[in-house]
Amino acid sequence: MACITFVNAGYWFTQTNSQLPASRIDANLYPHLFCAHAGLNSQTYELSISDSAKPLIHHFSQTVKENNSELKTLLSIGGDEAKAERFGAMAANSSHRAAFIRTSISKAREGNFDGLDLQWLYPSSVEDMANFEALIIECHRAVIRESRKSEEPRLIFVATVFYSPHLENLTYPIQVMIRTLDWVNVIAYDIFTPTLSSNEVGPSSAFFNPRRRSSSGDFGIRTWIQLGLPSKMMVFGVPFHGWAWKLYLF
C-alpha cells in the first residue's frame, strides 16, 4: 500500500520501562519502533490504555524521536488487554469495529504515532477470519479518510500474523491484505512453547526444522510467498526471549 522499501523495527513494551525506559533506547538503530501495547475495552470495544501505561505511551514518540527525527513509531494493539476472544467479539459487530477504528486512530494521533499495528493473535474460526478481513478493509479506508480530512500524512497500517498463512483449517485473506496493509509482521517464533506443546520439546524459533519441516520460519515464509504475499511486504520476526521445559520423571 505504501512505498516502504525496508523495515528494521523493534518492539518496546511498557512493562519493561523500569529496566529499559524509552529514553534509553538507541533510536538511531531503527527506522521503525513499535510501542506495545494498547488494549481493547471489553464493554465498548474502543481502544483502551491502562492507567499505568498511559503516560508511557503518550510520551513514547516524543521521547524516542528526540535523537532520531526520521524515526517512525507505531502503536501496537494487542497483549493481555486485547486477547483473541476480545478481538473476535469486536470484529464481529460493525458498530464495534467502527468504535475500535475511530478510537485507535484518535489515540495514535494524540500520541504523535506514525502508524498502527493490529495484533489479533489469532483468528480461530471461519467467522473470525471473515471479520478480520472486514476489519482491515475498514481500517484501511478510515486511515485514508482521516489523512485527507486532517491533511496529515496517512497513518501506516500493519498487522502482526501467524508464521504461516494457514491457521489449522483457516487461511488468511492474502489478496485483501496486499491491498490494505503496508506490511505484515510474521511471528516466526513461539512455534513450540511449554503451553502449546507441553508434552513435546521443540525449537521455539527455528528457521529450519529437519524433524518437522512445517514447524519452521522457513516453511512459513515460503508458504506465504507461494500463496501470493509479496516478500517485500513481510517482516520476519526474531525473538529476544526463550522457553524452558521442565522434565518430570515418573
Q: Which domains does the chain have, with CATH numbers?
A: 9-237 (3.20.20.80)
Residue 48: half-sphere exposure toward Cβ, Cα within 13 Å: 18
Each residue of 139-152: pLDDT tens digit? 999 999 999 999 99
**What does each C-alpha distance from 29 to 53, 59, 68, 175, 182 come to in angstroms?**
24, 19, 9, 32, 21
Please determine, for residue 10, whether its predicted confidence score (pLDDT) is greater than 90. Answer: yes
pLDDT at 206 over 90: no
Q: Radius of gyration (Cα) for the chain, nearest Å? A: 18
Neighbouring-strand partners of residue 72: 32
Q: How confident is the model at residue 122, as a pLDDT?
A: 97
Mean pLDDT (whole number) for 6-21: 94
| Mean pLDDT along residues 81-108 | 98
Q: What is the pTM (predicted TM-score) of this model?
A: 0.94
What DSSP assignment string belongs to 39-82?
EE-TTT--EE--TTTHHHHHHHHHHHHTS-TT-EEEEEE-GGGS
- pLDDT > 90? residue 72: yes
Give me the percent of the chain exceeding a pLDDT of 90. 80
CB 160 within 8 A of CB 118: yes
Looking at the chain, list the stretches that DSSP marks H as alpha helix, in order from N- to C-terminal side.
Answer: 54-65, 84-91, 94-110, 126-150, 174-180, 217-226
pLDDT in tens, 25-60: 999 999 999 999 999 999 999 999 999 999 999 999
Pairing of strands 234-236, 183-186: parallel
Q: Name which of 17-21, 79-83, 178-182, 223-227 the model is least confident about.
A: 79-83
pLDDT of residue 60: 98
Is the pLDDT at 200 greater than 90? The verdict is no
- pLDDT 10s digits, 122-143: 999 999 999 999 999 999 999 9
Take residue 243 and report the three cell numbers written for it. 522457553
What mean pLDDT is predicted for residues 75-88?
96
What single-letter amino acid sits at 175? Q
Q: Residue 157 — very low, low, confident or very high, per pLDDT cuts 50/70/90? A: very high
Mean pLDDT, residues 230-234 = 96
3-class secondary structure, 166:
strand
Rounded CA gap, 148 and 146, in Å? 5
